[in-house]
Protein backbone atom coordinates (compact mmCIF):
# COMPACT_ATOMS: atom_id res chain seq x y z
CA UNK A 1 0.00 0.00 0.00
CA UNK A 2 1.23 3.50 -0.85
CA UNK A 3 1.13 5.76 2.22
CA UNK A 4 2.30 9.37 2.42
CA UNK A 5 3.00 11.54 5.47
CA UNK A 6 2.99 15.33 5.35
CA UNK A 7 5.47 16.75 7.87
CA UNK A 8 6.86 20.22 7.21
CA UNK A 9 9.92 19.96 9.47
CA UNK A 10 10.72 16.27 9.13
CA UNK A 11 14.49 15.67 9.60
CA UNK A 12 14.90 19.34 10.50
CA UNK A 13 13.50 19.42 14.02
CA UNK A 14 13.53 16.66 16.68
CA UNK A 15 10.16 17.65 18.16
CA UNK A 16 7.36 15.27 19.06
CA UNK A 17 5.60 15.52 15.69
CA UNK A 18 8.74 14.71 13.74
CA UNK A 19 9.57 11.84 16.10
CA UNK A 20 6.06 10.46 15.58
CA UNK A 21 6.42 10.61 11.78
CA UNK A 22 9.86 8.98 11.84
CA UNK A 23 8.87 6.13 14.16
CA UNK A 24 5.54 5.29 12.53
CA UNK A 25 6.68 5.67 8.92
CA UNK A 26 9.73 3.44 9.42
CA UNK A 27 7.65 0.72 11.05
CA UNK A 28 4.98 0.90 8.37
CA UNK A 29 7.77 0.36 5.83
CA UNK A 30 8.91 -2.68 7.80
CA UNK A 31 5.34 -3.98 7.63
CA UNK A 32 5.54 -3.96 3.84
CA UNK A 33 3.97 -0.61 2.95
CA UNK A 34 5.50 1.87 0.52
CA UNK A 35 5.88 4.99 2.68
CA UNK A 36 7.10 8.45 1.68
CA UNK A 37 7.38 11.59 3.80
CA UNK A 38 6.71 14.92 2.09
CA UNK A 39 7.07 18.47 3.41
CA UNK A 40 3.57 19.51 2.40
CA UNK A 41 0.91 18.96 -0.25
CA UNK A 42 2.94 21.00 -2.78
CA UNK A 43 5.97 18.68 -2.44
CA UNK A 44 5.15 16.59 -5.54
CA UNK A 45 3.07 13.99 -3.69
CA UNK A 46 2.78 10.78 -5.69
CA UNK A 47 -0.72 10.79 -7.26
CA UNK A 48 -0.88 7.01 -6.75
CA UNK A 49 -0.88 7.51 -2.97
CA UNK A 50 -3.74 5.60 -1.35
CA UNK A 51 -3.65 7.07 2.17
CA UNK A 52 -2.36 10.55 3.03
CA UNK A 53 -1.56 11.22 6.70
CA UNK A 54 -1.27 14.94 7.41
CA UNK A 55 0.39 16.55 10.43
CA UNK A 56 0.75 20.10 9.11
CA UNK A 57 -2.77 21.42 9.64
CA UNK A 58 -4.25 24.81 8.71
CA UNK A 59 -4.17 25.63 4.98
CA UNK A 60 -2.20 22.48 4.18
CA UNK A 61 -5.00 20.37 5.70
CA UNK A 62 -7.60 22.11 3.53
CA UNK A 63 -5.51 21.69 0.39
CA UNK A 64 -4.80 18.07 1.33
CA UNK A 65 -8.53 17.39 1.45
CA UNK A 66 -8.96 18.85 -2.03
CA UNK A 67 -5.94 16.88 -3.31
CA UNK A 68 -7.36 13.63 -1.90
CA UNK A 69 -10.74 14.23 -3.52
CA UNK A 70 -9.04 14.81 -6.88
CA UNK A 71 -6.81 11.74 -6.59
CA UNK A 72 -9.23 9.26 -4.98
CA UNK A 73 -7.03 9.13 -1.87
CA UNK A 74 -8.10 8.79 1.76
CA UNK A 75 -7.14 11.61 4.12
CA UNK A 76 -6.10 10.80 7.69
CA UNK A 77 -5.29 13.66 10.05
CA UNK A 78 -3.36 13.00 13.25
CA UNK A 79 -4.36 15.32 16.09
CA UNK A 80 -0.84 16.34 17.03
CA UNK A 81 -1.88 19.98 17.52
CA UNK A 82 -4.04 19.22 20.54
CA UNK A 83 -7.25 20.68 21.86
CA UNK A 84 -7.56 24.05 20.15
CA UNK A 85 -8.29 25.91 16.94
CA UNK A 86 -5.77 24.06 14.75
CA UNK A 87 -7.40 20.69 15.38
CA UNK A 88 -10.86 22.24 15.19
CA UNK A 89 -10.00 23.22 11.62
CA UNK A 90 -8.61 19.74 11.00
CA UNK A 91 -11.92 18.25 12.13
CA UNK A 92 -13.98 20.66 10.03
CA UNK A 93 -11.95 19.66 6.96
CA UNK A 94 -13.85 16.33 7.19
CA UNK A 95 -10.93 13.91 6.89
CA UNK A 96 -11.78 10.26 6.26
CA UNK A 97 -10.28 9.56 9.69
CA UNK A 98 -9.18 11.78 12.56
CA UNK A 99 -6.71 10.27 15.04
CA UNK A 100 -7.08 11.39 18.64
CA UNK A 101 -4.03 10.79 20.82
CA UNK A 102 -5.90 10.43 24.13
CA UNK A 103 -9.36 9.66 25.51
CA UNK A 104 -9.73 13.32 26.42
CA UNK A 105 -8.97 14.45 22.88
CA UNK A 106 -11.27 11.76 21.48
CA UNK A 107 -14.24 13.06 23.48
CA UNK A 108 -13.39 16.64 22.54
CA UNK A 109 -13.12 15.77 18.84
CA UNK A 110 -16.44 13.90 18.90
CA UNK A 111 -18.12 16.99 20.32
CA UNK A 112 -16.55 19.25 17.65
CA UNK A 113 -17.51 17.09 14.66
CA UNK A 114 -19.58 13.97 15.45
CA UNK A 115 -20.13 13.30 11.74
CA UNK A 116 -16.67 11.99 10.94
CA UNK A 117 -14.82 8.81 11.89
CA UNK A 118 -12.53 9.31 14.90
CA UNK A 119 -10.18 6.74 16.39
CA UNK A 120 -7.81 6.90 19.35
CA UNK A 121 -4.19 5.94 18.70
CA UNK A 122 -1.61 7.46 21.09
CA UNK A 123 1.97 8.42 20.39
CA UNK A 124 4.60 5.98 21.55
CA UNK A 125 8.14 5.14 22.58
CA UNK A 126 10.91 2.83 21.39
CA UNK A 127 11.22 0.48 24.37
CA UNK A 128 14.49 -0.99 23.13
CA UNK A 129 16.17 2.36 22.68
CA UNK A 130 14.94 3.92 25.92
CA UNK A 131 15.63 1.75 28.97
CA UNK A 132 17.34 1.96 32.35
CA UNK A 133 20.35 -0.09 31.23
CA UNK A 134 21.68 2.64 28.89
CA UNK A 135 25.02 4.05 30.05
CA UNK A 136 24.29 7.47 31.57
CA UNK A 137 25.73 10.69 30.25
CA UNK A 138 28.40 12.13 32.52
CA UNK A 139 27.03 15.29 34.13
CA UNK A 140 28.83 17.78 36.34
CA UNK A 141 25.75 18.52 38.46
CA UNK A 142 25.03 17.79 42.11
CA UNK A 143 22.34 15.19 42.81
CA UNK A 144 19.40 14.95 42.66
CA UNK A 145 19.01 15.98 39.01
CA UNK A 146 15.59 16.85 37.62
CA UNK A 147 15.31 16.70 33.84
CA UNK A 148 13.12 18.78 31.54
CA UNK A 149 13.12 18.28 27.76
CA UNK A 150 11.93 20.84 25.23
CA UNK A 151 12.90 24.10 23.60
CA UNK A 152 13.27 26.96 26.06
CA UNK A 153 10.83 29.64 24.95
CA UNK A 154 9.71 32.75 26.80
CA UNK A 155 6.21 32.14 28.15
CA UNK A 156 3.37 34.48 27.31
CA UNK A 157 1.81 36.09 30.36
CA UNK A 158 -0.32 33.54 32.20
CA UNK A 159 0.75 30.55 30.09
CA UNK A 160 2.77 27.60 31.34
CA UNK A 161 4.49 26.74 28.04
CA UNK A 162 7.15 24.12 28.84
CA UNK A 163 7.49 25.63 32.29
CA UNK A 164 11.27 25.83 32.45
CA UNK A 165 11.19 28.88 34.70
CA UNK A 166 8.59 27.28 37.00
CA UNK A 167 10.69 24.15 37.40
CA UNK A 168 13.81 26.18 38.12
CA UNK A 169 12.04 28.08 40.91
CA UNK A 170 10.55 24.93 42.43
CA UNK A 171 13.77 22.93 42.25
CA UNK A 172 15.70 25.74 43.91
CA UNK A 173 13.45 25.43 46.96
CA UNK A 174 14.46 21.80 47.48
CA UNK A 175 18.11 22.30 46.44
CA UNK A 176 17.85 20.04 43.40
CA UNK A 177 19.70 20.51 40.11
CA UNK A 178 17.79 21.07 36.87
CA UNK A 179 19.02 19.88 33.49
CA UNK A 180 17.30 21.62 30.57
CA UNK A 181 17.74 19.73 27.30
CA UNK A 182 16.60 21.30 24.05
CA UNK A 183 17.08 24.38 21.93
CA UNK A 184 18.09 27.24 24.19
CA UNK A 185 18.64 24.92 27.19
CA UNK A 186 21.76 23.69 28.99
CA UNK A 187 22.54 21.18 26.23
CA UNK A 188 21.10 20.34 22.82
CA UNK A 189 21.49 16.80 21.55
CA UNK A 190 20.21 14.81 18.58
CA UNK A 191 17.32 12.54 19.47
CA UNK A 192 19.42 9.38 19.13
CA UNK A 193 21.63 10.55 22.02
CA UNK A 194 18.77 11.19 24.42
CA UNK A 195 18.62 7.73 26.12
CA UNK A 196 21.86 8.44 28.03
CA UNK A 197 20.45 11.76 29.25
CA UNK A 198 17.41 10.16 30.87
CA UNK A 199 19.46 7.54 32.71
CA UNK A 200 21.76 10.27 34.07
CA UNK A 201 18.88 11.93 35.92
CA UNK A 202 16.73 11.11 38.93
CA UNK A 203 13.36 12.59 38.02
CA UNK A 204 11.58 13.96 34.96
CA UNK A 205 9.26 16.93 35.18
CA UNK A 206 6.90 18.20 32.52
CA UNK A 207 5.11 21.39 33.61
CA UNK A 208 3.45 21.95 30.27
CA UNK A 209 0.26 23.69 29.21
CA UNK A 210 -2.90 21.55 29.65
CA UNK A 211 -3.59 22.25 25.97
CA UNK A 212 -0.54 20.29 24.80
CA UNK A 213 -1.67 17.26 22.82
CA UNK A 214 0.66 14.64 24.30
CA UNK A 215 4.34 14.72 25.33
CA UNK A 216 6.49 11.90 23.92
CA UNK A 217 9.27 12.86 26.32
CA UNK A 218 7.05 11.60 29.15
CA UNK A 219 7.11 8.13 27.63
CA UNK A 220 10.85 8.24 26.96
CA UNK A 221 11.51 9.21 30.58
CA UNK A 222 9.28 6.45 31.98
CA UNK A 223 10.73 3.84 29.61
CA UNK A 224 14.15 4.85 30.98
CA UNK A 225 12.92 4.21 34.53
CA UNK A 226 12.29 7.80 35.61
CA UNK A 227 9.20 8.80 37.59
CA UNK A 228 7.43 11.95 36.49
CA UNK A 229 5.98 15.11 38.04
CA UNK A 230 3.57 16.55 35.49
CA UNK A 231 0.85 19.14 35.12
CA UNK A 232 -2.40 17.97 36.68
CA UNK A 233 -4.65 17.66 33.64
CA UNK A 234 -6.59 14.76 32.04
CA UNK A 235 -4.09 14.18 29.23
CA UNK A 236 -1.02 13.93 31.46
CA UNK A 237 -2.91 11.72 33.95
CA UNK A 238 -3.80 9.32 31.14
CA UNK A 239 -0.22 9.13 29.88
CA UNK A 240 1.61 8.92 33.21
CA UNK A 241 -0.88 6.83 35.21
CA UNK A 242 0.62 5.62 38.48
CA UNK A 243 4.20 6.40 37.44
CA UNK A 244 4.26 9.94 38.78
CA UNK A 245 2.67 12.81 40.66
CA UNK A 246 0.49 15.64 39.38
CA UNK A 247 0.44 19.29 40.36
CA UNK A 248 -0.41 22.78 39.17
CA UNK A 249 3.17 23.98 38.50
CA UNK A 250 2.13 27.62 38.77
CA UNK A 251 1.89 27.07 42.54
CA UNK A 252 5.63 26.99 43.20
CA UNK A 253 5.35 25.77 46.80
CA UNK A 254 3.11 22.84 45.85
CA UNK A 255 5.27 22.11 42.85
CA UNK A 256 8.39 22.00 45.01
CA UNK A 257 6.65 19.68 47.47
CA UNK A 258 5.60 17.32 44.67
CA UNK A 259 9.18 17.19 43.34
CA UNK A 260 10.52 16.49 46.82
CA UNK A 261 7.95 13.75 47.44
CA UNK A 262 8.57 12.10 44.06
CA UNK A 263 12.31 11.95 44.74
CA UNK A 264 11.67 10.10 48.02
CA UNK A 265 9.27 7.46 46.68
CA UNK A 266 10.52 4.01 45.68
CA UNK A 267 8.79 3.77 42.31
CA UNK A 268 10.18 0.30 41.58
CA UNK A 269 9.25 -0.69 38.00
CA UNK A 270 6.09 1.43 37.70
CA UNK A 271 7.49 3.96 35.19
CA UNK A 272 8.74 1.24 32.83
CA UNK A 273 5.50 -0.73 33.11
CA UNK A 274 3.46 2.37 32.25
CA UNK A 275 5.65 3.11 29.23
CA UNK A 276 5.13 -0.43 27.92
CA UNK A 277 1.52 0.49 27.16
CA UNK A 278 2.81 2.81 24.41
CA UNK A 279 5.12 0.70 22.26
CA UNK A 280 5.69 2.17 18.78
CA UNK A 281 5.55 -1.37 17.36
CA UNK A 282 1.98 -1.86 18.59
CA UNK A 283 0.99 1.65 17.52
CA UNK A 284 2.40 1.18 14.01
CA UNK A 285 0.34 -1.98 13.60
CA UNK A 286 -2.77 0.03 14.46
CA UNK A 287 -1.83 2.55 11.77
CA UNK A 288 -1.34 -0.28 9.29
CA UNK A 289 -4.79 -1.67 10.08
CA UNK A 290 -6.30 1.81 9.81
CA UNK A 291 -4.72 2.46 6.42
CA UNK A 292 -5.88 -0.90 5.08
CA UNK A 293 -9.41 -0.19 6.27
CA UNK A 294 -9.54 3.24 4.65
CA UNK A 295 -7.96 2.11 1.39
CA UNK A 296 -10.55 -0.68 1.07
CA UNK A 297 -13.55 1.68 1.16
Residue 16 sits at the vertex; the CA angle it makes with 106 and 162, to the nearest 5 degrees, is 90
The CATH fold assigned to 2-124+279-295 is: Rossmann fold (3.40.50)
pLDDT at 158: 45
pLDDT at 251: 95
Instruction: Report the distance separating Cα 102 and Cα 234, nearest Å.
Output: 9
Instruction: Report the distance separating Cα 168 and Cα 173, nearest Å.
Output: 9
On whether the CB atoms of residues 28 and 76 are closer than 8 A, the answer is no
pLDDT at 160: 44
pLDDT at 253: 96
CA atoms within 13 A on the CB side of 193: 8
Instruction: Report the distance separating Cα 90 and Cα 58, nearest Å.
Output: 7
pLDDT at 122: 97
CATH 3.40.50.2000 domain span(s) along the chain: 2-124+279-295, 145-277
pLDDT at 164: 85
Q: Which residues contact 22 (CB under 8 A, 6 or more apart)?
A: 10
What are the DSSP E strand ranges found in 135-273?
145-149, 177-181, 203-206, 228-231, 244-247
The CATH fold assigned to 145-277 is: Rossmann fold (3.40.50)
> Residue ranges of the chain with pLDDT lower than 50?
155-160
Amino acid sequence: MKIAFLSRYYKQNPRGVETYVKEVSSRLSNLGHKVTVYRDIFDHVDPRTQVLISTNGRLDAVLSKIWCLLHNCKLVISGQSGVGWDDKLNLWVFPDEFIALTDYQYRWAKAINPRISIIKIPNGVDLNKFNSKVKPLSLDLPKPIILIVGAVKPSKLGEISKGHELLSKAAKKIKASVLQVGQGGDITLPHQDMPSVYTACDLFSYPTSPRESFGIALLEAMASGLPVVATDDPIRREIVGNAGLFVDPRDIDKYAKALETALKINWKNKPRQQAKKFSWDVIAQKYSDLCKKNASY
